[in-house]
Amino acid sequence: MNKVSLEHRAVALDPAAAGAILTIDLEAVRENYRRLRARLDAARCAGVVKADGYGLGAVQIAQALMAEGCDTFFVAHVGEGISLRDAIGPKPTIYVLNGIPPGAERDATGSNLCAVINSLDQLSAWSKAARDIGHELPAAIQVDSGMSRLGMAASEVLALAADPQAFANIEVTLVMSHLACADEPAHPANKAQRIEFDRLRAMLPPVPASLANSSGIFLGNGFHHQLARPGAALYGINPTPGLENPMLPVVRLQAKVIQTRSVAAGAGVGYGHTAVTGRNSALATISLGYADGWRRRAAASAYFDGVRLPFIGRVSMDSIILDISALPEGRLRPGDMVEMIGPSQTLDEVAGFSGTIGYEVLTSLGHRFHRRYVGVE
């Protein structure tokens, strides 16, 4: 692991000063990559590290995956691609999923990024950039197989197929599409998208194809093509909702106790006094709030020694109040760390409490935490 890049990402908060500690297990990321790859026969496995590696540090994640032989990464934005390129060197392929915005072609080619081409207009802009530069530029062609989000419509694919000059100056390296319902294996859209993808790509250059995200890998061989593009599963999010999570957890979030107190029955707790104690209670206030990405609506719990400590009252910007009456008196003290995400309460469970998904929980996690990477050699 490259020391410089670690320092570059490490938010300069020492654990003593931080209100919370986010531990990111890079060995678990590597094991998750190995588990996904084991499900793919001939297909290769890329790593999706958009949104700063789902909030966990794109550079650290990419370097961990490279140690497993991963050589292809996907980001969403040109800026993400440029930062990643600076950190991981010239060799890996980096695709920009959202395409290259007009005017950003020079920045993109300067960092040797591969465009994901989502429309005929993007194709001609990329082709023109290649002409200006004087050499071919690499690109993935994304087709819309039924999600109606990004990618060329069938009519555009037909137009391309009819135009022998369509790919002038472009080296097509991948044909791809994205599944809308992969986390619902029984959803009829999966098969429909696969059939439509196979129909559309047959009209395009015979290059490697890519359809599966994390959950798509679990839909079986027919969805694997030549390259899988997992993100979530690498980070420990369950790619098979409703079934046991086949991935290892990657993140652990612990928050620090700032103060404890005893209150009598009938005490109003927190903003709006939305909670009033029904009995004499022991409370603890922890240094984590909605400004840290913990959603205000998420009525969850914290854990200490495996004991559940329910939230009481509203989540504040910088703090949450816990009812710690279940613990022996004096057991929890200022400076102690309680578990927010970890063995007692998984990422997917926390997401469920907030009415959201693990993806959003991870990408919302704030930057006031001390971030600790473990599993780095």
Ligand X SMILES: *Cc1c(COP(=O)(O)O)cnc(C)c1O
- Active centre residues (catalytic): 50, 271
Three-class SS state of 50: helix
Residue 224 makes contact with ligand X by CB under 6 A: no
Residue 85 makes contact with ligand X by CB under 6 A: no
CA distance linking residue 109 with residue 48, whole number of Å? 20
Burial class (CB in 10 A: 0-12, 13-18, 19+), 327: middle
CA nearest neighbour of 189 among 158, 216, 214: 216
Residue type, 363: T
Q: Which stretch binds ligand X (CB under 6 A): 156-164, 197-205, 226-234, 319-327?
A: 226-234
Identify the residue among 231, 236, 249, 289 touching ligand X (CB under 6 A). Answer: 231
Identify the residue among 40, 43, 48, 338 touching ligand X (CB under 6 A). Answer: 48
DSSP state of 74: E
Residue 178 makes contact with ligand X by CB under 6 A: yes
DSSP string covering 213-247:
-HHHHTT-GGGTSSEE---GGGGT--SSTTS---S
CA distance linking residue 129 with residue 82, whole number of Å? 17
Q: Which is closer to ligand X, CB of 72 or CB of 287?
A: 72
- List all residues 6 or more positions away from 284 whose beta carbon is below 8 Å from its beta carbon: 257, 259, 260, 261, 309, 321, 322, 324, 332, 338
Q: Which is closer to ligand X, CB of 178 or CB of 225?
A: 178
Identify the residue among 169, 213, 319, 345 touching ligand X (CB under 6 A). Answer: 213
- Closest contact distance (angstroms) between CB of 129 and ligand X is 22
Q: Which is closer to ligand X, CB of 229 or CB of 252?
A: 229
Residue 214 makes contact with ligand X by CB under 6 A: yes
Q: Which stretch binds ligand X (CB under 6 A): 84-92, 230-238, 254-262, 291-299?
A: 230-238
Q: Which stretch binds ligand X (CB under 6 A): 192-200, 228-236, 334-342, 369-377?
A: 228-236
| Contact positions vs ligand X (CB under 6 A) | 48, 50, 97, 178, 213-214, 229-233
